[in-house]
Amino acid sequence: YGLRRLLSNVAFAWKQMMIVFPAIIVIGPLLEAAYSLASFFNNAFFLYKAADMVEKGTDVTTIIWFTVIAFSVSELINRGYGFFHNIVMCKKNAAVTINIRNMLFEKAAALDLACYETPNVYDKLSRAFDVAFQAIYDTFYNVDNLVWRLTELCMTSFLVLLIDPVLIVFAAVPFLLGLLKNKKNNLNNDRDNEFKKSWRRADYVRRIFYQTEYAKELRLGNMSFLMVDHLRAAYKSYKKTVYKFGWRLALITFAEVVGREVVTILGAMAFSVWRVSTGHMSVASCIVVINSIAVVATSLAGLVETFGEVGQSARKVGDLRLFLEMKPTITEDPALPEPTP
């Protein structure tokens, strides 16, 4: 899957959202950036300033006013963010679903009967209906999440770098682990595709047994034994898929947990406490590091993960486009005269 095709799929998904809500291309990223900034000021930066004020002996009234203003602004942005996604986008998503469903049915009706002589057409149609709606939403929200991750990472990393640049070494570990997460997403996608093949085969056998006219012919021609063999083969294929992908996914998950929880978070905490004991870091800075290093680590890992999720959802959008881009096998000659009633 080429980068150009992936970017084209992302643009296609956003185009479907913009048909219903043209302003989403501006409102979506801006709102995500504002929400991320509010989260930063309400957590890491607020903790840093409050601890610094207490350590410097700032007046209690000043600290209280600072706290009230910070939480009020943050709460206002949070309410607006929730209203946009829970009320506005809920209605827009329903309209997007209707548009995509109409596109699929119109394309299915436009294809001539010759196209349906090959099972490949049915496979493309079923894959398009399986992934179309969720893939469009996932691609849109993953790009928005990318903006949120980048804003959070930049602000929190800048604060940690101001305290002690050495700490960024600990945060770089989850970035490398994020590459493993990308590998994990690809394995999950391949595993799910294998599962779908097995379940489609099993569902096909069940459907035949449920239909009365087929059930009679199965009993008369002893075809039931062949169908049961197909069902057994589907379950065996499912077990092989679990074994094929299960141990690799387990190892990657274990490496992610150890790298994030042990190497990054505990390592940065131990380093910060050691710096405080040697007098090279204030207690307020140490508190901020303990609170923020996990955010930086999670943001770095999440950034790589989000890039992988954008690619994964864009591939699923590609399944929708594969069906929409199908050409009829029988085309009309424009030189022929129009039929007369």
Residue 149's Cα: distance from chain center in Å? Answer: 12
How would residue 2 be classed by pLDDT, with cut points 50, 70 and 90? low
For tokens 């059930």, the residue is 215
pLDDT score for 329: 57
Q: Give mean pLDDT, residues 170-186.
A: 72
Q: C-alpha distances in angstroms, 163 versus 33, 259, 263, 296, 335?
A: 24, 23, 20, 14, 76
333 has pLDDT over 60: no
Give me the pLDDT at residue 178, please. Answer: 66
What pLDDT band is residue 5 in, cutting at 50, 70 and 90? confident
Q: What is the CB neighbour count within 10 angstroms for residue 330? A: 9
Cα separation values, 119 from 123, 126, 199, 308, Å = 6, 11, 17, 31
At 28 the pLDDT is: 84
Q: Whose CA is closest to 268, among 180, 157, 189, 122?
A: 157
Rounded CA-CA distance 214/27 in Å is 55
Judge whether 40 and 288 are in contact, CB under 8 Å.
no
pTM: 0.61
- Pick the residue with more confidence: 306 or 1? 306
Model pLDDT for residues 122-166, shown as the tens digit of each residue: 667 777 777 777 888 888 888 888 888 888 777 777 777 777 777
CA atoms of 200 and 231, how far apart (whole Å): 10
Burial 268-285 (b: 16+ CB within 10 A, else e): bbebbeebbeeeebeebb
pLDDT above 70 (res 334) = no
Q: What is the mean pLDDT of residues 291-299?
A: 69
Quick one: what percent of the chain has pLDDT higher than 90?
0
pLDDT of residue 112: 61
